[in-house]
Structure 1
Amino acid sequence: MTIPTRMVWLTVLFGLALCGCSDQSSDTPGTTLESRPNILLILGDDMGVETLASYRLGSTTPATATLDDLARQGVQFNNFWSQPVCSPTRATIITGRYGFRTGVGRPLTAGGPAPEPPAKPAWAPYEVPGTGGGMGFGGSTDGLTLSYGLPGNEFTLPRALKSGAGPAYATAAIGKWHLGDAENGWTEHPNLVGFDHYEAVLRGIDSYFSWNKVVDGDYVGTTHYAATDRVDAAVEWISDRGDSPWFMWLGFTLPHTPLHLPPEELWQSDHSELDPNADPTENPLPYFHAMIEAMDSEIGRLLASIDPAVLDNTYVIFLGDNGTTSTTVTEPFQPGRAKGSVYQGGVNVPLIIKGPRVARGRSSDALINSTDLYATILEMAGLDARELTPSHVTLDSISLLPNLLEPDSPSRRQWVYVDVFSGNFAGVEGADYAMRDERYKLLRRDGVLEFYDLMTDPFEHINLLDGTLSAPQEERYQWLQARVTALRGSE
């Protein structure tokens, strides 16, 4: 097999588009209300830092021409923490607030009515039934099985983008949402929290080839390959924006289960040895890599479709929503300490950003949390998160824009924090959590504390609490404990 001609051309077109007509991204003037940049936020589903070659961590990685180019044209963050699972990460981005403040600590369990999807085409590859999260998260570590979505009274990013001075942003959420439930609006939730337009899935899907999407509250059954459908919708919406500034939330379900062999035109490597009708769970990694390649190809198609002048004035943000699952995680991370856990394998995910004035081909070791994207996106738009967010709302977000302009500048955070819990607010007290500073990490798992030196032990093999702490270690241990206690006790 040869790499599909379509992919070769997409790679060339994307490279030209990303460079822009004049290669002046580092010299773009500061944001003004008259010339606001566009902002494209892209989420990959279930992929840690070890999945991308640009991070140079994984023992084996898929081909990702688009994301490799994005890293060369922007800044890659090495110490970005998502939340351990998807819904909490999405809630922190859209509110700038930790899960214990919003009650979103797990993927949702309480959905609403939905029609049966259309019949899966006979030509489609095999997918293990019921593995895509279409019915929501069904388990719990603490007996609190019901987890609901983001409350409708939370102040959100799309609302903020419309509340500042100057031209209001057009806003769209395309793709996986996973924040709406039967108690907060279900099919209408993305629109209720402020998005002008929503199109795709409210949670996971159990087939990429037979699924129901929601378009501004209405169900539409389709057999269009899900990733391609999302990008088709994104291309159409962006092309209709004219000169208005826009913000798009583009949530892929790739590479989340169900594992499958994507359409060949989206491959970037030769996967012809994979049987499309075999059970992918018996040999999961090649299928997982093919799915990442398919997502990367579709991102490339989207970026190549945007006029170069428009793309020059667009921030492109790519991140993973949580770490890789235990079935597909590779070294240096470990199964059981991957997605769903507060270990590095569960929360250390890719974050790559390019755009006006952003440094090119650089990396940053700054401590960044998923909450920080809220303030960052608003500052990109020339807005101040503290001024726009209602005064009674506690905001946990710190803009990382200074680290985009000067990647070697000090971290604006002394620490980052994550947690995971079920049952909304009832589960907060018993949550697993983690906090780290530039060197040390304190975590609680199943009620037991652990303490790691990430400088000498970056992948958490040696729990320092199993021995005697040195004086400097004891000082940082107490410091982190005090910060966790103060944070979790705040309103």
Structure 2
Amino acid sequence: MKKLFIAVVLSMLVSTTWAQTKKPNIILILADDLGYADLGAYGSEIETPNLDRLAQEGLRLRQFYNNSICAPTRASLLTGQYQHKAGVGYFSNDLGLPAYQGYINQESLTIAEVLQANGYRTLTSGKWQVSGKGKSLPWERGFELVFPREEKNADSGAPTWNGKTDDAGYPLAESYATEVIHRHAVDFLDQVKGDDKPFFLYLAHTAPHWPLVALPADIAKYKGRYDQGWEQLRQARFQRQKTLGIVAADAQLSKPDEDLYDWSRLSFDQRQLWAKKMEVFAAMVDRLDQTVGRLLQKLKDNNQLDNTLIVFLSDNGAPAEDLVRWHHGARLNSGPVGTTGSYESQSKNWSYASNTPYKAFKDYTYEGGINTPFIAWFPGKIAPNQIKQGAGHIIDLAPTFYDLADADYPDKFAGKTTNSLPGKSLLPVLFAKQDTVQRPEGLFWERAGNRAAHIGKWKLVSTWPSYKWELYDLEADPTERNDIAAKQHAVVSRLSSAYFVWAKQNGVVDFAELEPKEPASMKEFRKSKVQEIAAPAFRF
């Protein structure tokens, strides 16, 4: 009876906090390959005043999870389903089973479909990448205003633009991808500003995904800032995270990968080349933040700001991809890093700092691959300058938005029985005093054979091609330094059993049965653990 009373009171607190006569606008901003520590609000030295403002005036979560790589993350983000249930278990290519068909199935409704049916205008600008085989294109899945609109470009890694450059080969602002995506988004906001309907905007940036290309004025701001190397940068970010309260004062950094370069042993010329890579990466993040500032100004000018929830996150951790060593990077490079002729990535050396304080990178199910910075801002509804644990997941965003919009989620849609929503509404965490999502059943991951299960304080991890489970106590060891599987057989058994139940329910199969065909040299490289590469034919 006491538990029931508490639940009723909490529900009343949440409803009175956000109840309003007019349905709110919702903006979901997704960055691409942004690491946990790449924003000022999460410990970075990169200048991100606009996102920092949203963090200071809103809420940050220490723990918010994605699916470790872009297409599976986007499938879950858009539908509120685990990616296999939505049909994008591996990537946007077809591996021959419904859970791995490479495009969103009809049983998994998108946020746009549900909100449009509940009176919303629906807009999207940027990266889509969940329409393998040309199916489930954005305008077929509930979005009214879409960029890019061309069918041949809808599922590419980035929208097309005219590629104008200056004399040195650097992009011009008018043709730079981040600016192009932003420009179409604000044009859509202008188109709907006179409506009496609320809007949902899905703004999916390609920055700061490789190849590293940025505007020269932005690059110049960071000249010399990374001459100290990745280890010192990681230490500096870690200390700022402690000061901010993002990590605990007694936290420890994850153990470094053994194959990272030793900065002290690099030549002067090598250090200069590596430092320039991070200068360009920082410039890409900086420009992304600049567009967020102009987006806020546009919302203010259009009288759309005060009734708008803005959520910001990244699709995965910073990447380990090294374009010089694979994907024909050395051959494709035709200009200095930062120019449109370059084909460079920050590689795991700098990503090691981007993912501070966590272990590993994009495509892994360690915290460095799946834990994203998460910012939520809603003036007058979300109390300012909050940092909570959260323990949320991208499957929670759809039920959160439906809860906020008082939207009905149908049992049937267009003649299909819909998949039920496995996520939880975040409103008690965002608008009330709840610190973490209440989820006794736990969370689960599988991507290209990399697996994880997280229930309570416990987390199981295994990394392909190994099937061996590792176990971490995330309360005592949030950076996954100490594998205690050998000491906790009962916990490993309980979590692994729960994982296999989840896998069966979602159509997950052993990756050895699905592994895409790769050249022998690439397969050897992928399994060497120099890097984890799952789909070299795709830009992800």
Q: TM-score range by the shorter chain?
A: 0.7 to 0.9
Question: Do residues 67 (structure 1) and 12 (structure 2) align?
Answer: no
Unaligned runs of 5+ in 2: 1-13, 149-153, 165-172, 227-270, 321-346, 507-540
Distance 1:386 1:392, change over 3 A: closer
Please report how far the alpha carbon of residue 394 of structure 1 lies from its aligned counterpart in structure 2 after TM superposition.
Answer: 3.2
Aligned to 1:160: 114
Partner residue in 1 for 2:103 = 149
Give the whole-Å Cα distance in 2 for the aligned partners of 1:36 and 1:108.
34
| CA shift for structure 1 position 299 | 1.0
* Cα distance between partner residues in 2 of 1:457 and 1:271: 36
248-257 or 347-356: bigger deviation: 347-356
Q: Is the 8 A contact 1:206 1:258 kept in 2?
A: no
Instruction: Give the SS at the match of 2:310.
Output: strand
Shift of 1:107: 3.4
Check conservation: 2:161, 2:180, Cα contact below 8 A.
Answer: no
The residue correspondences of 1:365-404 to structure 2 (distance < 5 A) are 365-385=389-409, 392-404=418-430
For residues 265-306 of structure 1, give each alpha carbon's deviation from its aligned partner in whole angstroms, at most 9, with x where no partner exists. x569444899xxx99767422211111011001111111111
- The one-letter code sitting in structure 1 at the alignment partner of 2:370 is V
Query: How far, CA to CA, are the matches of 1:210 and 1:375 in structure 2?
Result: 39
Distance, in Å, in 2 between the alignment partners of 1:388 and 1:361 is 40
Structure 2 counterpart of 1:99 = 83
- RMSD of the TM alignment (CA)? 3.2
CA distance, structure 1, for counterparts of residue 430 and residue 134 of structure 2? 39
In structure 2, C-alpha distance between the alignment counterparts of 1:208 and 1:329, rounded to whole Å: 28
1:256 aligned to 185, 204, 209, which one? 209
Q: Is the 8 A contact 2:396 2:424 kept in 1?
A: yes
Q: Hey, what does 2:484 align to over in structure 1?
A: 464
Q: Percent identity?
A: 26
Instruction: State the SS of the aligned residue for 1:50.
Output: coil
What amino acid maps onto 1:49 in structure 2? Y
Distance 2:475 2:26 in 1: 34
The answer to whether the Cα contact below 8 Å between 1:81 and 1:348 also exists between their aligned partners in 2 is: yes
What code does the residue aligned with 1:451 have? L
Cα deviation digits, residues 25-55 of structure 1 (max 9, x gap) = x9996345x5111001100000121212322
Deviation (angstroms), 1:108: 2.4
User: Which of 448, 457, 465 is 1:439 aligned to?
Assistant: 457
**Letter paired with 1:481:** S
Is the contact made by 1:435 and 1:443 (CA closer than 8 Å) also made in structure 2? yes
Q: Is the 8 A contact 1:255 1:291 kept in 2?
A: yes
Aligned to 1:192: 140
**Selected match of 1:330 from 348, 352, 359:** 352
Alpha carbons of 1:448 and 1:384: their partners in 2 closer, same or farther (altered >3 Å)? Answer: farther
Aligned to 2:492: 477
Equivalences for residues 291-440 of structure 1 within 5 A: 291-307=284-300, 309-326=303-320, 327=347, 328-331=350-353, 333=356, 337-355=360-378, 356-385=380-409, 392-414=418-440, 415-421=442-448, 431-440=449-458
Matched with 1:44 is 31
Matched, 1:284 2:277: yes
Query: Does structure 2 conserve the Cα–Cα contact (< 8 Å) formed by 1:31 and 1:381?
Result: no
> Structure 1's 83 and 208: CA in aligned 2 closer, same or farther, altered over 3 A?
farther
Cα drift, residue 436 of structure 1: 1.4
- Residue in structure 2 matching 1:30, options 18, 21, 46: 18
Number of residue equivalences? 395
More helix by share: 2
> What TM-score does the superposition give when structure 1 sets the normalisation length?
0.73
Are positions 1:226 and 2:244 aligned together?
A: no
**C-alpha separation in 2, matches of 1:409 and 1:387:** 31
Taking the aligned partners of 2:499 and 2:138, their CA distance within structure 1 comes to: 32
- In the alignment, the residues of structure 2 paired with residue 334 and residue 147 of structure 1 have an alpha-carbon distance, to the nearest angstrom, of 35
Decide which moves more: 195-204 or 316-325.
Answer: 195-204
Give the corresponding residue for 1:7: none
Find the partner of 1:203 among 132, 156, 159.
Answer: 156
> How far 1:366 sits from its partner (Å)?
2.2
Change (3 A) 1:357 1:475: farther
Instruction: Give distance in 2, aligned partners of 1:63 and 1:388.
Output: 46
1:193 counterpart letter in structure 2: R
Q: Does 1:246 align with 2:194?
A: no
Q: Which runs of 5+ in 1 are unaligned?
A: 1-25, 111-139, 141-145, 212-221, 422-430
Residues 417 and 273 (structure 1 numbering): CA distance in 2 closer, same or farther, change over 3 Å?
Answer: closer
Indicate whether 1:89 and 2:38 are aligned.
no
Asked if 2 retains the 8 angstrom alpha-carbon contact of 1:91 and 1:99, the reply is yes
Change over 3 Å in CA distance of 1:409–1:459 after alignment to 2: closer
SS of equivalent residue, structure 1 residue 172: strand
Which amino acid letter does the alignment assign opposite residue 472 of structure 2?
Answer: Y
Letter in 1 for 2:469: L
1:197-231 CA deviation, whole Å, 9 max, x = no partner? 110353224998729xxxxxxxxxx9711111111
Check the 8 A contact 2:32/2:314 in 1, yes or no.
yes
Distance 2:436 2:191 in 1: 40
Higher relative contact order (CA 8 A, sep 6+): 1
3-state DSSP of counterpart to 1:43: strand
Q: Contact (CA 8 Å) 2:219, 2:279: kept in 1 or not?
A: no
SS of the residue aligned with 1:311? coil
- Letter paired with 2:71: S
- Counterparts of 2:487 and 2:366 in 1: how far apart (Å)? 22
Amino acid at match of 2:22: S
Q: How far does the alpha carbon of each residue in 1:125-147 deviate from its partner, in whole angstroms, 9 at most, with x for none? A: xxxxxxxxxxxxxxx9xxxxx96
Aligned to 2:120: 169
Partner Cα separation in structure 2 for residue 325 and residue 299 of structure 1: 23
The C-alpha deviation readout for 1:169-220, integer Å capped at 9, x for no partner, is 00011011111122416xxx11011101110353224998729xxxxxxxxx
